[in-house]
Chains A and B, each alone.
Chain A
């Protein structure tokens, strides 16, 4: 860090002026000698000031980068592992929610299907009753079946309603994961700002552009958040179908 305040070269630069002063004194030219001394002092003073300026700048930069380094240490040691954990939490939560919803559906679907098919089976006989084609004994059996069916509708509807409530409750992941994702976005922004600042402080005005360098290659990128931002990304299934059609599909 600390550059030497004055160098051997600078002292050498003073030598001609110093020799002039000595020869002026030897020649008894006191006024010229005094002027020479003043000139030498001025040179030394201006060097001292510029050296002090440089030192102050170095100190400022050192303090600033130290502060940033301390921030970065915190980010790399604590916040990024924490962010990974948070994102894993998002995966776990959303997976749980999807399974809870699908479990509820798996439970409700056969009940609904069963009620529908029983009603379908009973209906022709009720139509026969309506057409007065039914004898009294058959009617009593049908009536008994209807009462059993009504009990079943009541019980199964309760269970289906319970399943629907579970589906609703499973959606609580949105709130929980949404908050966590927002925190991670904030951290990423902080890291980006820190890096940009650090690159600026350490010099190299070109460097921050690298942060926006486009990704190249065919690596899998996962879901697009903003497909409209990238001309190479299709906006939906219709685009995919059009593209495949143009390729002879």
Chain B
């Protein structure tokens, strides 16, 4: 499984990559905002997207919408990991078709649970 981790803070990308590695996901790449992530997704063979919301240039919510609007990427599972904590934002993300929403600060256990839940649901619909 190839995962793209998008966050403008390199430390957070590192933490997420570290946690993913501990969960057995070794094939990860990084991008620092939506505008660099989208071409990577379009030209790469990623299976999963983990993204922050609040980033310069292109925000995570816009990246999510762009992924859903792209025929080839539309089915890709997307997990938002963000400090954005307004209910209206969570609802907006849900309506845009997010697969999971984690608020920062978060724990390794939360990431594990959300990933498992997403995979469970994908297997259920597949």
Asked whether any CB of chain B lies closer than 8 Å to the CB of A19, the reply is no
Kindly list chain A residues whose C-beta atoms are within 8 Å of the C-beta of B85.
223-224, 227, 233-234, 240
Stretch at the interface among A160-168, A193-201, A214-222: A214-222
Contact partner of A223 (CB less than 8 A), chosen from B83, B88, B92, is B83
| A95 engages B15 (CB within 8 Å) | no
Kindly list chain B residues whose C-beta atoms are within 8 Å of the C-beta of A224.
83, 85
A237-B102, A240-B101, A244-B101 are known contacts. Are A222 and B90 too (CB-CB below 8 A)? no
User: Closest residue to A91 on the B side, CB-wise?
Assistant: B9
Asked whether any CB of chain A lies closer than 8 Å to the CB of B29, the reply is no
Kindly list chain A residues whose C-beta atoms are within 8 Å of the C-beta of B94.
244, 247, 249
| B102 engages A243 (CB within 8 Å) | no
Provide the bound-state CA to CA distance between A221 and B89, in Å: 10
A98-B14, A232-B88 are known contacts. Are A220 and B102 too (CB-CB below 8 A)? no
Asked whether any CB of chain B lies closer than 8 Å to the CB of A102, the reply is yes
The interface on chain B, measured as residues whose beta carbon lies within 8 A of the other chain's beta carbons, has a size of: 26
| A222 engages B10 (CB within 8 Å) | no
A237-B106, A240-B102 are known contacts. Are A220 and B90 too (CB-CB below 8 A)? no
Which residues of B from 59 to 86 have beta carbons under 8 Å from A?
A: 59, 83-86
Kindly list chain B residues whose C-beta atoms are within 8 Å of the C-beta of A220.
53-54, 59, 84, 89
The interface on chain A, measured as residues whose beta carbon lies within 8 A of the other chain's beta carbons, has a size of: 24
Asked whether any CB of chain B lies closer than 8 Å to the CB of A236, the reply is yes
Kindly list chain B residues whose C-beta atoms are within 8 Å of the C-beta of A223.
83, 85, 104
Asked whether any CB of chain B lies closer than 8 Å to the CB of A60, the reply is no
Per-residue interface assignment for chain B, residues 1 to 40, with 1 indicating a CB less than 8 Å from any chain A CB and 0 otherwise = 0000000011100110010000000000000000000000
Per-residue interface assignment for chain A, residues 71 to 115, with 1 indicating a CB less than 8 Å from any chain B CB and 0 otherwise = 000000000000000000000001100110010010000000000
User: Smallest CB–CB gap between B30 and chain A, Å?
Assistant: 14
A95-B11, A220-B54, A240-B101 are known contacts. Are A102 and B91 too (CB-CB below 8 A)? no
User: Smallest CB–CB gap between A236 and chain B, Å?
Assistant: 7
Kindly list chain A residues whose C-beta atoms are within 8 Å of the C-beta of B18.
102, 105
Kindly list chain B residues whose C-beta atoms are within 8 Å of the C-beta of A240.
85, 90, 101-103
| A102 engages B15 (CB within 8 Å) | yes
Kindly list chain B residues whose C-beta atoms are within 8 Å of the C-beta of A230.
86
User: Smallest CB–CB gap between B95 and chain A, Å?
Assistant: 8
| A233 engages B101 (CB within 8 Å) | no
| A222 engages B54 (CB within 8 Å) | yes
| A102 engages B54 (CB within 8 Å) | no
Q: Which 4 A-B pairs have the closest CB atoms?
A: A220-B54, A98-B11, A223-B83, A233-B85
Mind listing 27 A-B residue pairs with CB under 8 Å?
A94-B11, A95-B10, A98-B15, A102-B14, A102-B15, A105-B18, A218-B86, A218-B89, A220-B59, A220-B84, A221-B86, A222-B54, A222-B83, A223-B85, A224-B85, A230-B86, A232-B86, A232-B87, A233-B87, A234-B90, A234-B103, A237-B102, A240-B101, A240-B102, A244-B90, A247-B91, A249-B94
